[in-house]
């Protein structure tokens, strides 16, 4: 055995850097008893490195490539073309040629081989890189194989492979390539097997695609495939395709496409017996690798040959359960309007804050709702209540309940329904809200003072104790009653006004410009910052060029900069603890990265006249007052109208006095989180000085309890931090499901709607009105460049997005419900809004003219 060429049998698990992910997996497959793998060998990365190590042109081109970003497509394409030319012309080292010749004589030089690339950053658990390098089929003869080894080396620098590496953070110099030479088989049928259904993600379903001839026809998309699904050894679904073409090896070399006879085109490619046998082989391979696999296979005679297996990297992890029973989980991120992955410290703080039965998976939080669904007496009430704000979740859960015996039913007693008197406060006295806010502010002031005196283990213990105070404030019964009263009043108004007056969503207008909404006030406050800066043109020009977070220090050197800085700092004093994804304590806050505010400030300067915030708030307040007067007058004209008006007025007062408070508890929680974070980072600086941490931000990759131990012992396994960072990188790329089962099945749910216009994009109506305008698709808030009248299309909006709401005329999000942040603020600002729109940022193009029907819940492309 040499380091230049290794047969599959000679490969060891530790040799990823020699044979690449694809080669390593083939070596593993060869060692699985009962799994047939066509024999072959790998020209290792050592051969590739020897071929290029003295090549100055190659080295210079790599230096040029390292300076580019994924968006520099033209330059990337030109440099890649030159690198491929160098690699095609490079001399293969004589010792590599000698080793290849030896292995070909061993396996049969006259045989046809597949020559396939295997990069060291390929077919990995966290990045598949599938299809990024080239494969050549039916290659015969030593000289031809050597020529195609050079082609595989060159394919390391196809434009698609280079851009994919850039996007996934791989250094081109650290990625090397080996080349697999594997004996070809001549299959009647071939295809792909997934040991987890790639559509539903159900780990109990094996999904098989099959077509005649070589699998290249399926992989390239040349033909449609038969599709079979197997669960627990039973075929549960079959779809037979019309297979018109097949690829076969040519007698000389290479491949050719052949037509399939008409009477064979509709034949089932695999017999039922073969389907079940193949599924069993797939499960055996999955068990060996310990994770769901994407497997390439072919059938020659009566033997299945496995030619590749790689991890399925797109599956969302399943939350861990304490038992083996079927479970159902609902995403917390979809409720909190933050579906991004969270770091371990952020996850642990949220878990410490909430009493809900939560589980962690893929860097996200999920609530286990199995007990609620198991309750025969209460599950329908639970689903119906959830369905008011989350119809997609309701539909997904209803689908699960329709399946016999997935959830074991428990016969129990109905939960007592609280009387209205026990839910609503006695009256709508606004002093109740003022007192709750004052209590929270006083508590945070005391926290700020006390925490400055703490350090070491005493600090961590103090934070642990203070979280109990946070929970008391968050779950104060009076606070909960105020929030529920505001929500119930809005539901009551909408239901009764539709019944009595035939008008939908009346509460939306009545909710505009309510007092004490800390989040909507934040958006208006940033408009006031723009007012302070607007007269100073030198400041505006300076802000347009800012690239770093030290800009406030330099601002005072510019005419008008002192006033601008004071205005920004005043804003940060009240709102600087906020940021995008704020429920994750590890996220950088506006106080830490104030430059994130600059695009929003500049947008406000461009789009508004001075004092626009007061006018905007007053306009909403007057519209709400006029709507109240109109509704009450119309009610009085009805039979029993005076009583209806009295009942309605009571609910309107509750909406006006209480609904603004709904945003405050989260503001208080985030404020407290920021105080904790600042103190923990000060402690982390001490750990860096004592060489316990490499950098203070490493604490974000520890849970709170792990941090407690590190502070106490001054000991930390560096490998743990590296592992957590790699996990987080993987989790960032995953899309969390709204609903997932313990089988890993993702249920998306559907909107049940009729009589919609053709081509309508459906979502949940959350804020009334119809608006037409230009769609601005914005995924990252810092990329926002809005004109007044634009309609914002994004994945989700948490409170940090609120300053953008003042510039838009409508809102569409992929995530959200009736009472989530974006919906609440849209109603207060009077913006037509539709949320919960699946793949909105893909289905609506930036710049398209669209019409948002906020009352009916759909979007039209105009």
Residues 119 and 819: their CA atoms lie apart, in Å, by 48
Closest CA to 588 of 677, 672, 525, 701: 677
How far out from the chain centre does Cα 605 lie? 33
Report in angstroms the alpha-carbon separations of 46 from 20, 120, 363.
11, 12, 37
Residues 781 and 595: their CA atoms lie apart, in Å, by 12
Report in angstroms the alpha-carbon separations of 691 from 373, 456, 537, 715, 718.
50, 15, 47, 10, 11
124: DSSP letter: -
pLDDT tens readout for residues 509-523: 999 999 999 999 999
Residue 42, pLDDT score = 94
Report in angstroms the alpha-carbon separations of 411 from 371, 376, 408, 414, 858.
12, 5, 10, 10, 40
Categorize the per-residue pLDDT at 592 as very low, low, confident or very high, splitting at 50, 70 and 90.
very high
69: DSSP letter: -
Return the H-helix or E-strand segment holding 227.
strand 226-231
Residues 17 and 28: their CA atoms lie apart, in Å, by 15
Note if 821 is an active site residue: yes
Residues whose CB is less than 8 angstroms from the CB of residue 707 and which lie 6 or more positions away in sequence, other chains included: 345, 460, 680, 699
Residues whose CB is less than 8 angstroms from the CB of residue 623 and which lie 6 or more positions away in sequence, other chains included: 509, 512, 513, 830
pLDDT tens readout for residues 671-728: 999 999 999 999 999 999 999 999 999 999 999 999 999 999 999 998 999 999 999 9
Return the H-helix or E-strand segment holding 180.
strand 177-183
Q: Can you list the alpha helix ranges (DSSP code H) found in 360-426?
A: 370-374, 379-389, 391-401, 420-423
Residues 739 and 744: their CA atoms lie apart, in Å, by 10
Q: Can you list the alpha helix ranges (DSSP code H) found in 247-390?
A: 272-289, 333-336, 344-353, 370-374, 379-389
Q: What is the mean pLDDT of residues 30-46?
A: 94
- Min mean pLDDT across 87-96, 395-404, 419-428 is at 419-428
pLDDT greater at residue 809 or residue 66: 809
- Min mean pLDDT across 35-44, 564-573, 608-617, 751-760 is at 751-760
For residue 769, pLDDT over 90 is answered with yes
Report in angstroms the alpha-carbon separations of 117 from 83, 139, 144, 293, 611.
16, 14, 15, 19, 63
Residue 419, pLDDT score = 52
For residue 763, pLDDT over 60 is answered with yes
Return the H-helix or E-strand segment holding 606.
helix 598-607
pLDDT greater at residue 857 or residue 124: 857
Residues whose CB is less than 8 angstroms from the CB of residue 492 and which lie 6 or more positions away in sequence, other chains included: 651
**Strand order of the sheet with strand 849-853?**
761-762, 858-861, 849-853, 770-777, 790-794, 808-813, 833-835, 764-767
Residues 858 and 753: their CA atoms lie apart, in Å, by 10
Q: What is the mean pLDDT of residues 75-101?
A: 94
How far out from the chain centre does Cα 754 lie? 30
% residues pLDDT > 70 (the chain): 97
Closest CA to 483 of 663, 350, 647: 663
Residues 238 and 299: their CA atoms lie apart, in Å, by 19
pLDDT greater at residue 787 or residue 36: 36
Residues whose CB is less than 8 angstroms from the CB of residue 213 and which lie 6 or more positions away in sequence, other chains included: 187, 188, 189, 190, 246, 247, 248, 258
Q: What is the mean pLDDT of residues 596-608?
A: 94
3-state secondary structure 712-751: HHCCCCHHHHHHHHHHHHHHHCCCCCCEEECCCCEECCCC
The one catalytic residue in 176, 248, 274, 821 is 821
Q: What is the mean pLDDT of residues 723-741?
A: 94
Residues 114 and 118: their CA atoms lie apart, in Å, by 12
Residues whose CB is less than 8 angstroms from the CB of residue 148 and which lie 6 or more positions away in sequence, other chains included: 115, 136, 139, 179
pLDDT tens readout for residues 274-305: 999 999 999 999 999 999 999 999 999 999 99
560: left (phi over 0), alpha (psi -120 to 50) or beta: left
pLDDT tens readout for residues 776-796: 999 888 778 888 889 999 999
Q: Which residues of 158-193 are buried (b: 16+ CB within 10 A; e: fewer)?
A: beebbbbbbeeebebeebbbbbbbbbbbebebbbbb
Q: Can you list the alpha helix ranges (DSSP code H) found in 42-141?
A: 45-52, 56-66, 73-89, 94-107
Residues 778 and 738: their CA atoms lie apart, in Å, by 22
Residue 120, pLDDT score = 73
Residue 129, pLDDT score = 44
Residues whose CB is less than 8 angstroms from the CB of residue 24 and which lie 6 or more positions away in sequence, other chains included: 11, 13, 15, 16, 118, 123
Residues 295 and 563: their CA atoms lie apart, in Å, by 64
Residue 657, pLDDT score = 96
By DSSP bridging, strand 328-331 and strand 739-741 are: antiparallel
Taking a C-beta distance cutoff of 8 angstroms, is the pair 457, 710 a contact? Answer: no
Angle, helix 73-89 to helix 159-167, in steps of 10 degrees: 120
By DSSP bridging, strand 739-741 and strand 112-119 are: unpaired
pLDDT tens readout for residues 446-483: 999 999 999 999 999 999 999 999 999 999 999 999 99
Residue 552, pLDDT score = 92
Residues 357 and 365: their CA atoms lie apart, in Å, by 10
Return the H-helix or E-strand segment holding 673.
helix 664-689
Report in angstroms the alpha-carbon separations of 95 from 15, 50, 119.
20, 10, 21
Taking a C-beta distance cutoff of 8 angstroms, is the pair 694, 718 a contact? Answer: yes
Categorize the per-residue pLDDT at 421 as very low, low, confident or very high, splitting at 50, 70 and 90.
very low
Taking a C-beta distance cutoff of 8 angstroms, is the pair 771, 809 a contact? Answer: yes
Residue 422, pLDDT score = 43
Q: What's the half-sphere exposure (Cβ side, CA atoms, 13 Å) at 734?
A: 25
Residue 426, pLDDT score = 57
pLDDT tens readout for residues 234-272: 999 999 998 888 888 877 677 888 888 888 888 999 999
119: β partners: 177
Taking a C-beta distance cutoff of 8 angstroms, is the pair 563, 513 a contact? Answer: no
231: β partners: 205, 234
Closest CA to 808 of 547, 603, 536, 561: 603
Return the H-helix or E-strand segment holding 642.
helix 641-658
Residue 444, pLDDT score = 97
810: β partners: 791
């Amino acid at each position: 055995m040499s380091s230049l060429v290794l047969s599959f049998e000679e490969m060891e698990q530790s040799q990823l850097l020699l044979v690449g992910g694809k080669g390593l997996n083939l070596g593993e497959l060869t060692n699985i008893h009962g799994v047939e793998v066509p024999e072959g060998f790998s020209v290792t990365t050592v051969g590739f490195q020897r071929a290029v190590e003295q090549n100055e042109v190659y080295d210079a081109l790599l230096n040029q490539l390292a300076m580019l970003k994924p968006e520099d497509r033209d330059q990337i394409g030109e440099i890649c073309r030159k690198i491929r030319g160098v690699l095609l012309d490079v001399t293969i080292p004589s010792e590599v040629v000698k080793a290849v010749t030896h292995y070909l004589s061993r396996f049969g030089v006259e045989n046809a081989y597949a020559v396939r690339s295997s990069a060291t950053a390929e077919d990995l658990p966290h990045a598949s890189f599938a299809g990024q390098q080239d494969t050549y089929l039916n290659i015969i003869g030593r000289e031809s194989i050597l020529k195609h080894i050079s082609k595989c080396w060159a394919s390391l620098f196809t434009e698609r492979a280079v851009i994919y590496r850039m996007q996934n953070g791989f250094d081109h110099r650290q990625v090397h390539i080996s080349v697999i030479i594997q004996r070809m088989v001549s299959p009647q049928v071939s295809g792909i097997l997934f040991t987890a259904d790639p559509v539903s993600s159900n780990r109990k379903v094996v999904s098989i695609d099959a077509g005649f001839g070589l699998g290249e026809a399926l992989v390239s998309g040349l033909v449609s495939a038969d599709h079979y699904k197997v669960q627990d050894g039973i075929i549960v679904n079959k779809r037979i395709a019309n297979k018109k073409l097949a690829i076969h090896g040519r007698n000389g070399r290479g491949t050719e496409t052949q037509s399939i006879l008409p009477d064979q085109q509709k034949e089932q490619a695999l017999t039922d017996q073969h389907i079940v046998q193949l599924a069993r082989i797939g499960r055996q391979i999955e068990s060996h690798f310990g994770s769901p696999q994407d497997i390439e296979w072919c059938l020659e005679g009566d033997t299945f040959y496995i030619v590749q297996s790689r991890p399925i990297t797109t599956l969302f992890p399943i939350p861990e359960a304490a038992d083996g029973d079927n479970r159902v989980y609902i995403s917390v991120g979809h409720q909190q309007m933050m579906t991004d992955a969270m770091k371990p410290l952020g996850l642990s703080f949220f878990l410490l804050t909430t009493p809900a039965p939560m589980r962690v998976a893929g860097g996200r939080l999920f609530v286990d709702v199995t007990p609620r669904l198991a309750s025969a007496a209460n599950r329908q009430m639970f689903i119906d209540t959830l369905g008011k704000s989350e119809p997609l979740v309701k539909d997904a859960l209803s689908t699960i309940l329709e399946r016999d015996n997935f959830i074991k039913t428990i016969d129990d007693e109905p939960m007592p329904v609280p009387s209205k008197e026990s839910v609503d406060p006695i009256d709508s006295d606004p002093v109740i809200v003022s007192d709750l806010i004052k209590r929270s502010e006083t508590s945070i002031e005391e926290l700020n003072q006390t925490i400055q005196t703490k350090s070491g283990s005493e600090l961590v213990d103090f934070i642990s104790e203070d979280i109990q105070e946070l929970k008391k404030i968050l779950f104060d019964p009076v606070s909960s009653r105020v929030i529920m009263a505001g929500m119930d009043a809005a539901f009551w108004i909408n239901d009764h006004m539709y019944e009595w007056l035939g008008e939908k969503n009346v509460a939306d207008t009545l909710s505009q410009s309510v007092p004490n909404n800390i989040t909507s006030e934040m958006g208006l406050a940033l408009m006031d910052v723009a007012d302070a800066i607007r007269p100073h043109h030198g400041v505006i020009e300076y802000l347009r060029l800012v690239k770093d977070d030290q800009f406030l220090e330099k601002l005072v050197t510019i005419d008008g900069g002192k006033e601008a800085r004071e205005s920004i700092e005043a804003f940060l004093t009240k709102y600087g603890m906020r940021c995008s994804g704020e429920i994750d304590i590890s996220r950088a806050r506006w106080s830490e990265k104030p430059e994130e505010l600059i695009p929003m400030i500049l947008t406000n300067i461009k789009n508004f006249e001075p004092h626009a915030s007061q006018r905007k708030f007053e306009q909403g307040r007057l519209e709400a007052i006029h709507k109240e007067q109109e509704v009450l007058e119309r009610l009085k004209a009805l039979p029993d109208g005076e009583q209806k008006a009295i009942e309605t007025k009571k609910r309107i007062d509750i909406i006006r006095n209480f609904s603004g408070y709904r945003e405050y508890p989260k503001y208080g929680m985030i404020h407290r989180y920021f105080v904790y974070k600042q103190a923990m980072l000060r402690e982390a600086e001490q750990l860096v000085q004592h060489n316990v941490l490499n950098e203070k931000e490493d604490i974000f990759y520890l849970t709170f309890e792990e941090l407690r131990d590190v502070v106490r012992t001054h000991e930390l396994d560096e490998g743990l931090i590296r592992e957590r960072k790699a996990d987080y990188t993987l989790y960032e790329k995953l899309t969390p499901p709204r609903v997932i089962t313990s089988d890993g099945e993702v249920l998306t749910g559907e909107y049940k709607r009729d009589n919609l216009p053709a081509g309508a994009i459906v979502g949940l109506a959350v804020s009334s009105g119809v608006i037409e305008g230009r769609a601005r698709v914005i995924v990252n808030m810092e990329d926002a460049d809005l004109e007044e009248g634009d309609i914002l299309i994004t994945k989700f909006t948490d409170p940090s997005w609120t300053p953008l709401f003042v510039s838009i005329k409508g809102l569409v999000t992929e995530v959200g419900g009736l009472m989530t942040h974006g919906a609440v603020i849209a109603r207060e600002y009077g913006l037509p809004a539709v949320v919960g729109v699946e793949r909105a940022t893909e289905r609506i193009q930036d710049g398209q003219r669209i019409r948002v029907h906020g009352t009916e819940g759909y979007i039209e492309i105009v």
